[in-house]
Chains A and B, each alone.
Chain A
Amino acid sequence: MSNLTRGLDRLYIRPKTLDEAAVLLAGEGGQVLSGGTDFYPALGDQLPRGRVVDISGLRELRGISADAAHTRIGGLTTWSEIIGAPLPRGFDGLKSAAREVGSVQIQNRGTVAGNLCNASPAADGVPPLLALDAEVELVSRVGKRRLPLADFIVGNRKTVRRNDELLTAVLVPRRLDDAASAFLKLGARRYLVISISMVAAVVQLDGSGRVAEVHVAVGSCSVTARRLSKLERDLIGAPVSGLATRVTPEYLSPLSPIDDVRATARYRLDASLTLVQRALNYCVGNS
């Protein structure tokens, strides 16, 4: 009987509201589908495991808005929408990263929530959002929680999202609206490439032209993108002139790159050092 019942279950459900989606996920659960750019390719020659819950119809998860404290990016915002949105200067780095997510076809479909939940070590969206101190909002039938993006992604394609939760929004503090920001990516060619290393930087200067706050995140050089906290602390109060020369190799110690088909670990570290220096130069050159 139970087999028969299972046989009649729907394999594909497209809820219309967040509440409906939360109820579905709290019940039998299912694999969450949104833009789907990495859903079918990731299946290989397998069939989907169990039911698919397509959340692409949830209007509540679309659009970008702001209140006094945060810019709120709905989870289903596509990378093309990020590129086209009128966002403050602090988001320039995120926009640069958006232009590097796959190709135009992928940017048109792929979503911010999908990029974060997929949690690839080479996800282009992660370093710029880490550098912006972004938080993620997770919603389930039992409630809502918010946590720093840095605590959300915990490993190679691993997050702390429970199976009954949806990533509904990314929240970026308004404090960084006027900061300069940059994103640089190194790959084996110019376009449509998986990163060897990528760096996002956000720099806020004080009234006298010294560094008041700086955030630097490096991706593709550890199982998750990492902030360079010691560098960030040591650069506070530094003058703009010669800022990049203060970045020495020791500051990259939070990274643990691997040798793989794209590059050796040593090359990754060396390239990352240059990218960090360039990203900081870019930020202060424009400040």
Chain B
Amino acid sequence: MPETIEKVSIQLKVNGKSHSVSVEPRTLLVELLREHLDLTGTHVGCDTTYCGACTVLMNGAAVKSCTMFAVQADGAEITTVEGLEKDGQLHPIQRAFGDAYGLQCGYCTPGFMLSAMQLLAHNQQPSDHDIRKAIAGNTCRCTGYQNIFKAIQLAAQNMKGAR
């Protein structure tokens, strides 16, 4: 390995804000978010692409930020949990997770909410199977999933009502 690792300049938008940053190629997207941009709402659970706590949206599609290199997000728009609320108002998905008790310790919750975001952006009336499929890549060790499932159902109803 070379002594000095060259940095790569990338530009990306995170939660609507443009950033120009210089990162080592080995920097993971989640490290860029948490350690360079101080957006610590995105969590690292397993670091092996299994658990989904690190899920963010990249150009609207859910991805695991602990597996992706930050350089691969060059030119992309990223949404993290910090980008869900608007003007101090929680997003309907965030409210539903509270109202339906869709969390206990909360560690996995940002990832679940962003997986729900991708689902509900494309599917206003998800079936039970659609919801289970959408969160199959997210692991929770507290809730037993039933209330997470209910929270996403509730969010779907509320978002439909709001349209």
- Which residues of A pack against B, CB within 8 Å? 6-12, 14, 33, 36-41, 47-48, 52, 54, 56, 80, 99, 102-106, 108-109, 190-192
Residue contacts A-B, CB under 8 angstroms, 11 given? A8-B6, A11-B26, A40-B67, A103-B52, A103-B137, A103-B138, A104-B115, A104-B118, A104-B137, A191-B133, A191-B136
- Shortest beta-carbon distance from B63 to chain A in Å: 5
- Of all chain A residues, the one with the shortest Cβ separation from B3 is A7
Measured in the bound complex, the distance between the Cα atoms of B49 and A41 in whole Å is 7
Q: Within 8 Å CB of B137, what residues of A? A: 102-106, 192
- Shortest beta-carbon distance from B140 to chain A in Å: 13
- Of all chain A residues, the one with the shortest Cβ separation from B56 is A105
Q: Within 8 Å CB of B6, what residues of A? A: 8, 10-11
CB pair A36 B25 closer than 8 Å: no
Q: Within 8 Å CB of A9, what residues of B? A: 2
Measured in the bound complex, the distance between the Cα atoms of B2 and A56 in whole Å is 25
In the complex with contacts A12-B71, A109-B68, A7-B49 CB distance below 8 A = no
Q: Within 8 Å CB of B63, what residues of A? A: 105, 108-109
- Shortest beta-carbon distance from A113 to chain B in Å: 16
Measured in the bound complex, the distance between the Cα atoms of B94 and A180 in whole Å is 43
Q: A41-B49, A109-B68 are known contacts; what are 6 more A-B pairs with Cβ within 8 Å?
A: A38-B49, A102-B137, A103-B138, A104-B115, A108-B62, A190-B132
CB pair A8 B2 closer than 8 Å: yes
Q: Within 8 Å CB of B74, what residues of A? A: 14
B4, B25, B67, B134: which contacts A104 (Cβ < 8 A)? B134
In the complex with contacts A37-B67, A108-B62, A52-B72 CB distance below 8 A = no
A7, A37, A80, A106: which contacts B2 (Cβ < 8 A)? A7
Measured in the bound complex, the distance between the Cα atoms of B66 and A41 in whole Å is 9
- Shortest beta-carbon distance from B153 to chain A in Å: 18
Convert B35-69 into 0s and 1s, putting 1 for each residue whose CB lies closer than 8 angstroms to a CB of A. 00000000000001100100100100111101111
